Amino acid sequence: MNALRTRELLKAADKTLVQSRAQLDRIKGLYDAGAKAGGDVYQQEAAVGQQELQSITAKNDYEKPKAELLYFLSFPAETSTVFVMRTTDM
């Protein structure tokens, strides 16, 4: 279960990173147009860097339980896997 949970956290971290990069592009455009200060660009660049770190951390947090699960199931570590969580309505 930990592999499924950490996979969802990884997906969320990657989505947030994409949004942070898009926000940086918008702020750079506003800066180029003279509507934003240079400090705003630097602040968003720092936010993107922090989000990149969070995304890398989330990937590492996912890989460990994934490897443990593969080991538990007696699959080779290099096995390409996709975990699917199915929910049932009760």
Per-residue pLDDT band for 26 (boundaries 50, 70, 90) equals very high
Q: What is the pLDDT of residues 33-89, one digit of tens each?
A: 999 999 999 999 999 999 999 999 999 999 998 888 888 888 876 766 666 656 666
Structure tokens at 35: 């509507």
Structure tokens at 72: 């538990």
The arithmetic mean of pLDDT across residues 6-31, rounded, is: 97
Quote helix, strand, coil % in the chain, to nearest 5. 75, 0, 25
Q: Tell me if 66 sits within 8 A of 10, measured CB to CB.
A: no
Q: Which residues contact 27 (CB under 8 A, 6 or more apart)?
A: 36, 40, 41, 44
